[in-house]
Amino acid sequence: MVLFNEEMKFKKYKDLPSRINFLVQDRFAFASANINLVKIIIQEVQTLSLIRKKLLLSFQPVLPEFINIIQAVLKKDDRVNKELREDVILRIIIAPIFT
């Protein structure tokens, strides 16, 4: 999700590598600035099933749209294997967040 103020910055990047670079740097800066909160949230999600369920439910409405956007972007890029399944794509995107 790109916030309105960030969307203005995002639009100036026309190619996929530039957009990905912007998003990764922006989200990393946010996570770094809020590292203590991020650690607590990750620990709670990993240990408390109720919080994990609520978090999954909160993402459920936007997940199909997110997957569609990611798939559309990846299909346009010849460097990406077109036969990747949705679960593999999500794992590739989400795994680095937890490592």
Nearest to 25 by CA among 98, 60, 33: 33
Give residue 85's pLDDT band: very low, low, confident or very high (50, 70, 90).
Answer: confident
Ramachandran angles phi, psi of 3, nearest 5°: -70, 160
The pTM of the whole model exceeds 0.75: no
pLDDT tens readout for residues 23-77: 888 888 888 899 898 888 888 887 888 888 888 888 888 878 877 887 788 888 8
